[in-house]
Amino acid sequence: MIKKKVKDLKISATLKMNEIAKELESQGKEIFKFGFGQSPFKVPEDVVLELKKNSYQNMYLPVQGLKELRNSIATNITKNKNYTYKAENVLIGPGTKELMFLLQILFDGDILLPTPSWVSYEPQATLGENKVHWIETRREKNWFPTCADIEKIILKNKKKKYLLFLNSPNNPSGQICNNLEEISNLVKKYNILVLSDEIYSELTFEKNYSSISNLCPERTIISNGLSKWCGAGGWRLGYFIIPNELKNLRDSLKVLASETFSSVSAPIQYAAIAAYENDHTDYLNSSRNILKTIGEYVYENLKSNKVLVNKPQGGFYIMPEFVDKKFKNSEEMCSDLLKSTGVAILPGSEFGFSKKKLIARLSFTDFNGEKFMENLPNNEKIDQNIINKYAPKIVEGTKRLKDWVESN
């Protein structure tokens, strides 16, 4: 009755962990929710106001999305790209996850996934009946593949079509890809299609964001949305930007969209115009300042000869490897941590690592971002007292994790 490829899949690890944490909390247990990557900040007030004003909008909108919104996104994205995008290049979806799924359904070729990669890329490839090639990466290379790593796979069958997923800043590692130019040269050499997942691009900590679309725009699909930078994960609005050179692919995605989600919620689309047209510089500066400081706090408290970890460079995540722990696999390790301390993190095996590798993803978002932001003027230096006051669960959860590491 149920197809094997569906029957063999598990519920998304991030959503499952969030449900487990909520269930344990309902039983009166103190849980430190370091497993679920949701923005801790509220949606900007002007965007919320637009949603309220447009709540009466009840008509189906065009499959590709509201033209005014697509214009706003195209104008916004063109400012920082070496390509002039227009409304026709933009496809609005109910979150980028759905659009990525449709892309995997229509793509006829193999999928290239760096290890580690976001939890849903591989299951979606399975549903799309696409073969996945995991690309080995290394900590000292920011957990991104080198050209040699990618080319090694391609040379086994150069006749194949390949789709490379590139997510920077990365979920789960929190790292930024710093070898985009050499990867872009490989993309051009072998005519690789790239899905540039830029959902955390506005949350880069140290410098202006760099996109591979600036180097090979004609082969790059840009994926982004409201969920991370705008605190609107539950609103479910994402978009693809697809260059003119990939018009056939764009047209096919529109067909699939018409037969699946039809169109994205009208009130949400009208509200999103404000997100892309209004000035949110102060909101973003505060978000980055807080997340950078919290991420570095967790990093400084965890790094040791027992915990190998890179300092986060963007987004919500840090990826510690526990070198002295005596567990069979990362799932067993994370289960023990949750039972022993109440700290919930996700096993690295969910992101493409071997189960035996005792590595995990930690999301440092378990704090009230609204209160934190309201009580912190823009770019004010955040000291330990402020962290203690506005991110107490980060402080206590990190302490429990550190004590757990030292106890063995």
Residue 326, classed as helix, strand or coil, is: coil
pLDDT (average), residues 88-102:
97
Q: For residue 115, what pLDDT is reported? A: 97
- Give the pairing type, strands 238-241 and 90-93: antiparallel
Angle at 215 between CA 177 and CA 291, to 5 degrees: 35
Instruction: Express each pLDDT in 368-384 by its tens digit.
Output: 999 999 998 666 789 99
DSSP string spanning 265-284? Answer: -HHHHHHHHHHHHS--HHHH
In terms of residue numbers, what domain contains 347? 4-43+281-406
Residues 86, 8: one domain?
A: no
Q: For residue 377, what pLDDT is reported? A: 67
Asked if pLDDT for residue 119 goes beyond 90, the answer is: yes
Asked if pLDDT for residue 68 goes beyond 90, the answer is: yes
Give the pLDDT band of residue 326 (cuts 50, 70, 90).
confident
State the sign of the Cα–Cα–Cα–Cα dihedral 379, 381, 382, 386. Answer: negative
Query: Residues 321, 358: contact at Cβ < 8 Å?
Result: yes
Q: 209-214: long-range contacts at Cβ-Cβ below 8 A with a sequence spacing of 24 or more?
A: 209/80, 210/176, 210/180, 211/80, 211/81, 211/180, 212/166, 212/177, 212/180, 212/183, 212/184, 212/187, 213/81, 213/82, 213/83, 213/241, 214/81, 214/82, 214/83
Out of 229, 259, 277, a domain closes at: 277
Q: Cis peptide before 217, with omega less than 30 degrees from 0?
A: no
Q: For residue 404, what pLDDT is reported? A: 94
DSSP string spanning 152-187? Answer: HHHTT-TTS-EEEEEESS-TTT------HHHHHHHH
Segment among 73-87, 119-133, 227-241 with least mean pLDDT:
73-87
pLDDT (average), residues 337-360:
94
pLDDT (average), residues 288-301:
97
Angle at 154 between CA 253 and CA 125, to 5 degrees: 35
Query: Residues 395, 30: contact at Cβ < 8 Å?
Result: no
Q: For residue 284, what pLDDT is reported? A: 94
Residues 114, 236: one domain?
A: yes
**Identity at 17, one-letter amino acid code:** M
Rounded Cα distance, 141 and 137, in Å:
7
**Identity at 87, one-letter amino acid code:** A
Residues 259, 115: one domain?
A: yes
Residue matched to tokens 């103190």: 30
DSSP string spanning 253-268? Answer: HHHHHHTTT-S--HHH
Residues 228, 89: one domain?
A: yes
Give the pLDDT band of residue 26 (cuts 50, 70, 90).
confident
Q: Is 90 left (phi over 0), alpha (psi -120 to 50) or beta?
A: beta
Counting the structural domains of the chain, the total is 2
Residues 85, 127: one domain?
A: yes
Residues 252, 347: one domain?
A: no
Residue matched to tokens 């957990």: 143
Residues 179, 202: one domain?
A: yes
Which residues have a Cβ under 8 Å from the Cβ of 361 and sit 6 or more positions away? 35, 116, 171, 172, 173, 317, 318, 319, 345, 346, 348, 350, 351
Q: Comparing C-alpha atoms, which of 226, 224, 315, 200 is closest to residue 48?
A: 226
Q: For residue 28, what pLDDT is reported? A: 83
The phi, psi pair for 317, rounded to 5°, reads -125, 155
Residues 259, 393: one domain?
A: no
Residues 305, 394: one domain?
A: yes
Q: What percentage of the chain exceeds 70 in pLDDT?
A: 99
Q: For residue 378, what pLDDT is reported? A: 62
Residues 15, 100: one domain?
A: no
Q: What is the 3-class SS of 106-129, one letter each residue?
A: HCCCEEEEECCCCCCHHHHHHHCC
Which residues have a Cβ under 8 Å from the Cβ of 122 and sit 6 or more positions away? 111, 113, 132, 352
Rounded Cα distance, 73 and 240, in Å:
10
Q: What percentage of the chain exceeds 90 in pLDDT?
A: 86
Let me know how many helices (H) and strands (E) the chain has, helices first.
15, 14
Out of 231, 260, 277, a domain closes at: 277
Which residues have a Cβ under 8 Å from the Cβ of 296 and sit 6 or more positions away? 311, 312
pLDDT (average), residues 289-308:
96
**CATH code assigned at 24:** 3.90.1150.10
Out of 277, 307, 339, a domain closes at: 277
Residues 50, 39: one domain?
A: no
Give the pLDDT band of residue 290 (cuts 50, 70, 90).
very high
Residues 39, 49: one domain?
A: no
Q: For residue 229, what pLDDT is reported? A: 95
**CATH code assigned at 241:** 3.40.640.10
State the sign of the Cα–Cα–Cα–Cα dihedral 10, 398, 33, 341. Answer: positive
- If you average pLDDT over every residue of the chain, what do you get? 94
CB-side neighbour CA atoms (13 Å) of 396: 13
